[in-house]
Amino acid sequence: MKKQKSQYTCSSCGYISLRWLGKCPECNNWNSFVEEIVEKESSKHTAAPKSTQPYSLKNIEASSSNRTKTGISEFDRVLGGGLMPGSVTLLGGDPGIGKSTLVLQVAANLTSKVLYVSGEESGEQIKLRANRLHVKSEELLFLPETELHTILSVIKQESPFLVIIDSIQTIYDANMENSPGSLSQLRETTSRLMEETKKHGFATIIIGHITKEGTLAGPKILEHIVDTVIMFEGETSHAYRILRAQKNRFGSTNEIGVFEMHDSGLREVTNPSELFIGERKTNISGSVISASIEGTRPLLIEVQALVTPSHFGNPQRVSNGIDYRRLSILLAVIEKRNNNRLSAANVFLNITGGVRIEEPAIDLPVCCAIISNLLDKPIDPSMVIIGEVGLGGEIRSVSFPEKRILEAEKMGFRKIIMPAQSVKALNYKGSMKLIGVEYLNEAADMCLL
């Protein structure tokens, strides 16, 4: 019997090797290689090229009015305005966070035909969830199938507006010898679904599993194939969920939608700022309000810091909501430029509500919260703080300062500490008091009571 040929593919970056390697030479991850059976070359790759001609780009008609609203405004916001015909969206998140609930609610709101393909749950399970969510759409079709060609034939027969695949790890191509969920199957099935979606003009939402590190299972090429990648963030033990776009060919990235999980499904949170700062206590040190920009949306968040003496050799540095390395840099700046000793102290930092902030405008409020708790002096509760902190202790300008100011003013705040350069560039006529600062020590002196 002839032995089948195998190759080894890195599950992190897609690097291919003819032999197993302990460490990937491309991404340097350990034990990431997975064995795959090499498929025989198909005749479709040797077919004669078609006779096609290029045409002028100006003759192509494209309009945002082609989008279809799903009836869930937070989901539409993340997509860029609604579902685009001919688009493939990859939806990921932790088990039990609400992926299947969200797509079922989307399907229930659409008046066009929807095909729900499930390889994990039976019709009875989907029906029980639909009853809990009060889904009564007559245009929702259910297909318990995992074989790709059977799914594509049903799609061709029914001509739905939206196809939901739950999940892509269970779908397989019978012409391939690799098992369902393998890297080869993931690439092939996703590529075929993408090809059919573009050809026939329907929309597709694919649910994908994630790894224990929190990334989408399969190589990065899976994310490169699809048009949009959306991730559900949040703890399953908490009610709040954040939907974030990591890639979007039809809209802006880093846009977020905020939901709250209830017995009857996911509910939209139309005013996230009120949610994230609603339980704030004003008489404690180490708490500060900042204004962040997520996509096109201004968002008020609470930054909390706790500084305690370390009685052991190495002090702890724990951050929740911002990058740990960024926190380490800011601690060094505080100690060097503001003369606050932190090398022998434990520092714990938290962004309330489970939101994660990547932008540099969070630097100054983080520093002020740490200094406030270190000195045990509360920060003025009527104040919002924004600004990027440089290694020299200088405060650098931030993007979209006016949006941040207007959001803070709407929520009842009266003062804002911000970079002096941003204040000079503004033509603001509102009631907020703008306090421009150039260095970290100035901001620390002005915000403390």
pLDDT, residue 57, reads 76
Task: Quick: pLDDT tens for 283-298.
Answer: 899 999 999 998 778 9
pLDDT of the residue at 29: 83
The superfamily (CATH) of domain 68-269 is P-loop containing nucleotide triphosphate hydrolases (3.40.50.300)
Tokens 């897609």 map to which residue?
Answer: 14
Whether the Cβ atoms of residue 207 and residue 166 lie closer than 8 Å to each other: yes
Task: Dump pLDDT digits (tens) for 153-211.
Answer: 999 999 999 999 998 989 999 988 888 888 888 889 999 999 999 999 999 999 987 76
436: β partners: 418
Highest mean predicted confidence (pLDDT) among 43-57, 171-185, 244-258, 313-327? 313-327
**275-447: which CATH topology?**
Ribosomal Protein S5; domain 2 (3.30.230)
- 324-337 helix and 440-447 helix, angle to the nearest 10 degrees: 90
Q: How far, in Å, CA of 96 to CA of 210, rounded? A: 12
Q: Which two tokens stand for residue 439?
A: 């260095």
pLDDT digits (tens, 9 = 90+) for 84-143: 999 999 998 888 888 999 999 999 999 999 999 999 888 899 999 999 998 888 889 999
Buried b (16+ CB within 10 A) or exposed e, 338-368: bebebeebbbbbbbbbbbebeeebbbbbbbb
